[in-house]
């Protein structure tokens, strides 16, 4: 559209010349002169077109400025709207977080309420059964079901407090109780609250203990003076009483365990360990006696043989050595029989003789050490056996009765104890006796060396 005015102006300027040059008719006689058309120069055309374009430019710039201003206004409005939406989003999130916290708090309160409900139900059941055992029923105490919880609780505590006050004092009544031989006697029973009782009667007095099924029996520990003092209305300085929680179970006096009872708690394995310990003790005593006799003869053999060797009476020296018993006498005899041999051969003979005697000196030593090693293993076997028995009882009867579990636990612990009791002294004494035997071998070797040295000295003097 901008180029159309410019082309029109150019065609208007060039049209007369073009017509005159190409389509000029044949020359005719000159007519009357026509009026010449108005001409527009190219410069004017460009100037006009420039003015037109500048006008359009100004119009476009104005339009652009209007569009830009409108865009900026729209952008500012959108930014304000976005900022408002963000603020609303933050507020919504804060509200959601607050509501989530309130929901969690409500859930915790609900859970706590459920727990309290369960605890309260267990309290009602336990308190009801306890007070029922004391002769206070829920209806009589005013805490029966169907009432508000606060009212029931107040009535329950009131009934319990009243009963506790009634039972915490000293009460006297005539009643029956069992004596130590099982016969039943009658007398005055003095209750100290609900935790202890004393009896005063012609057939027997003293502290009372539960006998089961709500009955009493005399406790073996003597407490006649305390019972009579209470019957007379005096409070003794010391009360040797048996304290109990209920009269349902029969109280048993503490049993004084003997060594046999302890071994019996270990079962068959416990007796096997004890038998091995006794066997090890016998071997230790026998080996100690044997080593003692073998060590005592060394000095005697030297005292009898040395003077005869110095006098070169070797046959008499052999006879003197044979009159003594033991390993030292046999080693010295072997050395005297081969006294004329060269030193190396004689040394080999003495070593062979000592080696031959080692079997006798080490007698029972290996058995003692084997028992020392086996006894702890048997104790470990008893521990495993006892634990298996305990778990079997738990599987069959549960963990409600500790007496049922005590058998397996006793086997587990007692066998371990017996194994260590046997192993520790057996290992210690076995090593001490082995060291004693080694010293005796050294003494025998020194005795044989002493004899050979005396023989060589005399031989050198004679030469």
pLDDT tens digits, 166-189:
777 788 888 889 988 888 888 889
Instruction: Record the tokens describing residue 38, joined without a space.
Output: 């108005």
Q: In degrees rounded to 5, what are phi and psi of residue 177?
A: -155, 160
Cα gap 106→97, rounded to integer Å:
14
- Distances from the Cα of 414 to the Cαs of 263, 342, 419, in angstroms? 7, 62, 8
Most trustworthy range by pLDDT among 51-55, 207-211, 320-324, 381-385? 51-55
335 and 304 Cβ atoms separated by less than 8 Å: no
- What's residue 17's pLDDT? 43
Burial pattern 217-237, b for ≥16 Cβ within 10 A else e, equals bbbeeebeebbebbbeeeeee
Among 136-145, 186-195, 285-294, 339-348, name the one with the lowest average pLDDT: 136-145
Between 367 and 167, name the one with better pLDDT.
367
Helix (H/G/I), strand (E/B), else coil: 34: coil
- What's residue 462's pLDDT? 57
Between 133 and 448, name the one with better pLDDT.
448
Helix (H/G/I), strand (E/B), else coil: 198: strand
- What's residue 14's pLDDT? 46
Q: Is the pLDDT of residue 238 over 90?
A: no
Q: What is the mean pLDDT of residues 437-458?
A: 83
Chain mean pLDDT for the chain: 83
- What's residue 323's pLDDT? 83
Cα gap 81→78, rounded to integer Å:
5
Q: Is the pLDDT of residue 51 over 80?
A: yes
pTM of the shown model: 0.52
- Say which residues have a Cβ less than 8 Å from residue 5's Cβ, sequence separation at least 6: 48, 49, 52
Most trustworthy range by pLDDT among 46-50, 127-131, 304-308? 46-50
Cα gap 281→258, rounded to integer Å:
21
- What's residue 460's pLDDT? 59
Cα gap 15→5, rounded to integer Å:
15
289 and 441 Cβ atoms separated by less than 8 Å: no
Q: Is the pLDDT of residue 60 over 60?
A: yes
Q: In degrees rounded to 5, what are phi and psi of residue 188?
A: -90, 130
Q: Is the pLDDT of residue 25 over 80?
A: no
- Burial of 320 from C-beta contacts in 10 A (0-12 / 13-18 / 19+): buried
Helix (H/G/I), strand (E/B), else coil: 7: helix
Q: Is the pLDDT of residue 136 over 80?
A: no
Instruction: Record the tokens describing residue 69, joined without a space.
Output: 């201003």
Neighbours of 44 (CB within 10 A): 12
Q: Is the pLDDT of residue 261 over 50?
A: yes
Among 82-91, 276-285, 336-345, name the one with the lowest average pLDDT: 336-345
- Residue 458 pLDDT level (bands cut at 50, 70, 90): low
Q: What is the DSSP letter of 27?
A: P
Q: Is the pLDDT of residue 448 over 50?
A: yes
- What's residue 28's pLDDT? 47
How large a percentage of the chain has pLDDT more than 70? 89
- What's residue 433's pLDDT? 93
């Amino acid at each position: 559209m901008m180029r159309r005015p410019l082309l029109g102006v150019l065609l208007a300027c060039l049209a007369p010349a073009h017509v005159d040059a190409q389509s000029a008719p044949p020359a005719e006689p000159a007519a009357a002169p026509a009026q010449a058309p108005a001409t527009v120069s190219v410069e004017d055309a460009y100037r006009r077109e420039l003015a037109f374009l500048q006008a359009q430019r100004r119009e476009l710039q104005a339009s652009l400025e209007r569009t830009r201003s409108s865009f900026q206004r729209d952008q500012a409005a959108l930014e304000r709207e976005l900022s408002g939406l963000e603020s609303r989003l933050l507020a919504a999130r804060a509200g959601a977080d607050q509501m989530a916290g309130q929901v969690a708090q409500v859930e915790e309160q609900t859970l706590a309420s459920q727990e309290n409900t369960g605890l309260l139900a267990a309290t009602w059941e336990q308190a009801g059964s306890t007070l029922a055992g004391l002769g206070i029923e829920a209806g009589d105490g005013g805490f029966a079901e169907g009432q508000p919880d606060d009212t029931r609780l107040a009535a329950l505590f009131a009934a319990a407090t009243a009963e506790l006050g009634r039972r915490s004092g000293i009460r006297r009544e005539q009643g029956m109780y069992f004596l130590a031989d099982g016969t039943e006697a009658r007398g005055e029973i003095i209750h100290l609250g609900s935790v202890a009782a004393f009896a005063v009667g012609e057939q027997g007095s003293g502290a009372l203990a539960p006998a089961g099924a709500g009955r009493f029996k005399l406790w073996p520990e003597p407490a006649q003076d305390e019972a009579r003092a209470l019957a007379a209305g005096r409070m003794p300085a010391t009360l040797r009483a048996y304290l109990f929680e209920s009269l349902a179970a029969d109280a048993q006096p503490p049993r004084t365990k003997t060594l046999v009872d302890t071994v019996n708690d270990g079962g068959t394995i416990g007796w096997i360990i004890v038998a091995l310990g006794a066997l090890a003790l016998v071997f230790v005593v026998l080996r100690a006696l044997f080593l003692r006799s073998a060590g005592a003869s060394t000095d005697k053999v030297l005292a009898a043989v040395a003077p005869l060797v110095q006098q070169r009476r070797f046959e008499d020296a052999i006879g003197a050595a044979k009159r003594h018993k033991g390993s030292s006498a046999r080693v010295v005899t072997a050395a005297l029989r081969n006294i004329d041999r060269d030193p190396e051969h004689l040394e080999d003979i003495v070593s062979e003789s000592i080696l031959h005697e080692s079997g006798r000196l080490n007698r029972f030593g290996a058995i003692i050490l084997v028992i020392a090693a086996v006894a702890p293993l048997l104790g470990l076997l008893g521990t495993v056996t006892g634990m298996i028995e305990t778990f079997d009882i738990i599987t069959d009867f549960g963990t409600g009765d500790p007496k049922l579990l005590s058998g397996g636990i006793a086997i587990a612990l007692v066998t371990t104890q017996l194994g260590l009791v046997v192993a520790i002294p057996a290992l210690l004494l076995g090593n001490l006796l082995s060291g004693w035997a080694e010293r005796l071998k050294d003494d025998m070797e020194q005795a044989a060396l002493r004899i050979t040295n005396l023989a060589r000295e005399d031989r050198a003097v004679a030469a």
